[in-house]
Structure formats: C-alpha cells, structure tokens
C-alpha cells in the first residue's frame, strides 16, 4: 500500500501567520492517465472531514484562495496563508492513484 | 443541497454484526458512487469500499473484504454498510461520502456513525 507521511505532526501557529504542511508518498502519485490524485482534507473538531484541494492544486467549491496546494510526483505541500480561526483542526492528505486509496496520518494545526 | 444523513451510534457485542445506513437527498441517488471510510484512533482514516447504486457494483479495499458488505436501496435513496464478526478493532467512526465526478470521491460526507464494540 502507498504510505503518505505528513510533517509536521503538529503545527503551532499565530492567527494571521502562514502555515505549511508536507505530504510525502512512498511512490509516485502520477496515474497512468497523467493525473495526480492527491487531495487535502480538513477535519475540524467534532466534524466530518471536508475536501479542500483535489488533484494537487485545485480548490474545491467554496474553499478560500488562502489554501494553496502544490507539488508533483511524490512530494506535496499545502500552504495556508493568513491562518484564520476556522482553519484550525487536523489536515489530511489522501491519494486515489493507487489501490487501495490511502490517507496520511494527519497534521494538527493549533494555536501557539 | 447534497445531504448524507447517517444512522445513529451503535453499541454492539463482540462477534455480532451491525448495519449502518446513509440516506441521500438533494440529488439523484443512482447517478453517483458512494464510498465508506473508517476513522479510528489507531489506524486513522481508511477507505473501506465503494458502491455504484445504479448497477449495484461494489469494490472493496482488500483489508475490508469479508468484514464490510455494501448495499444500496434505490427505492429509499439509502446506502448501507454491514460489518460482521465485530471485534474491538472495529470500534470506530464510520462515514459515507459521495463522489463529485472529475473532482473527488469524497466531496460530500455524512456526519459519521460511531460503532462501539464492547461486551
């Protein structure tokens, strides 16, 4: 199975700061069709995960443009510029290129 | 508005089975695949499997074959997941999630169902 390793495990931030989360895959996430099925989710306390980014860098409907996904191959990053209170929670990367689909272990974005 | 309403939390005995439901509204149920995800403290988030209601086709994460059975009732717009031979390892929150084509398999999520396996 593809292993997604997220760093850091916890990211203390001050509101208004930028935050950056890394997701590294144990193998390339480029599908044979040329797409890279790497996604990012945010799970706020007591809620279901919510989709933020799909196919590396595309924001889902309604997601603010302060969320920026980037990367290629097996190395990906989610940047959050100007962190706001509603951005706090646990972020997960996810891959749907290889079967079985797998999630990263999560990064908790918390206040300093 | 897409809405996925899951059934309530369950407390079940080891060795028993449990069936969780996910009632869909706000869209044509048969037009979209439905997925199930497990979230546990020990294993994090795991994709369990997929059902395409239109043709009743399922696919499973190999890890959950024999553990989970996915079905769909087109007459009531409801997807189901049955978990069998429950052990403490099956204690988790289970989510249903709906596909958005060309976007993501997990674009829309239910609120989750907590299954606790305990004697």
Which pLDDT belongs to residue A39? 97
Alpha-carbon span B42 to B113, nearest angstrom: 17
Alpha-carbon span A43 to B50, nearest angstrom: 21
**What's the burial of A33, exposed, middle or buried (CB within 10 Å: 0-12/13-18/19+)?**
exposed
> What CA–CA distances, in Å, run from B82 to A70, B53, B98?
38, 16, 18
Give B61's contacts in chain A (Cβ within 8 Å).
99-101
Mean pLDDT of A22-28: 98
Of B64, B67, B82, the C-alpha closest to B18 is B82
Q: 3-state DSSP call for residue B29? A: helix
Give B44's contacts in chain A (Cβ within 8 Å).
92, 103-106
**Per-residue model confidence as pLDDT tens digits over B50-99:** 999 999 999 999 999 999 999 999 999 999 999 999 999 999 999 999 98
> What CA–CA distances, in Å, run from A95 to A23, B5, B21, B47, B76?
10, 25, 26, 10, 32
Contact A96 B104 (CB under 8 A): yes
What does the mean pLDDT of chain A come to? Answer: 97
Alpha-carbon span A75 to A85, nearest angstrom: 27
- Is the distance from CB of B77 to CB of B29 less than 8 angstroms? yes
Mean pLDDT of A8-26: 97
Give φ, ψ of A46 to 5 degrees. Answer: 75, 10
What does the mean pLDDT of chain B come to? Answer: 96
- Calculate how close chain B gets to A23, using CA atoms only, in Å: 15
Residue B41 clears pLDDT 90, i.e. is over it: no
Contact A41 B106 (CB under 8 A): yes
Residue B101 clears pLDDT 90, i.e. is over it: no
Residue B102 clears pLDDT 90, i.e. is over it: no
Which pLDDT belongs to residue B75? 96
Least confident of A29-33, A34-38, B103-107, B112-116: B103-107
Strands B92-100 and B113-117: antiparallel
Which pLDDT belongs to residue A8? 97
pLDDT category of residue B42 using cuts at 50, 70 and 90:
confident
Nearest to A48 among B46, B105, B112 (CB): B112
- Is the distance from CB of A3 to CB of A102 less than 8 angstroms? yes
Rounded percentage of chain A residues whose pLDDT exceeds 70: 100
Mean pLDDT of A17-33: 97
Which pLDDT belongs to residue B73? 97
- Calculate how close chain B gets to A79, using CA atoms only, in Å: 20
Of B8, B9, B20, B6, the C-alpha closest to B84 is B20
Which pLDDT belongs to residue A11? 96
């Amino acid at each position: 199975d593809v292993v997604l390793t997220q760093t850091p495990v916890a990211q203390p931030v001050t509101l208004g700061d930028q935050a950056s989360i890394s997701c590294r895959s144990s193998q390339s996430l480029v599908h044979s069709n040329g797409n890279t099925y790497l996604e990012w989710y945010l799970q706020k306390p007591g809620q279901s995960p919510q989709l933020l980014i799909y196919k590396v860098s595309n924001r889902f409907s309604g997601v603010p443009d302060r969320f920026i996904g980037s990367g290629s191959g097996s190395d990906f990053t989610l940047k959050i510029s100007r962190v706001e209170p509603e951005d706090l929670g646990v972020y997960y990367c996810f891959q749907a290129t290889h079967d079985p689909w797998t999630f990263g272990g999560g990064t908790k974005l918390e206040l300093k | 508005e897409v809405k996925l309403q899951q059934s309530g939390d369950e407390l079940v005995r080891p060795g028993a089975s449990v069936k969780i439901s996910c009632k869909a509204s706000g869209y044509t149920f048969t037009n979209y695949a439905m997925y199930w995800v497990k979230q546990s403290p020990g294993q994090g988030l795991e994709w369990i499997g997929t059902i395409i209601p239109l043709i009743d086709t399922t696919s499973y994460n190999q890890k959950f074959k024999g553990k989970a059975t996915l079905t769909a009732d087109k007459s009531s717009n409801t997807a189901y997941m049955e978990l069998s031979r429950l052990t403490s390892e099956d204690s988790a929150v289970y989510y249903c999630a709906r596909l958005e084509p060309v976007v993501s398999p997990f674009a829309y999520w239910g609120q989750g169902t907590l299954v606790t396996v305990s004697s």
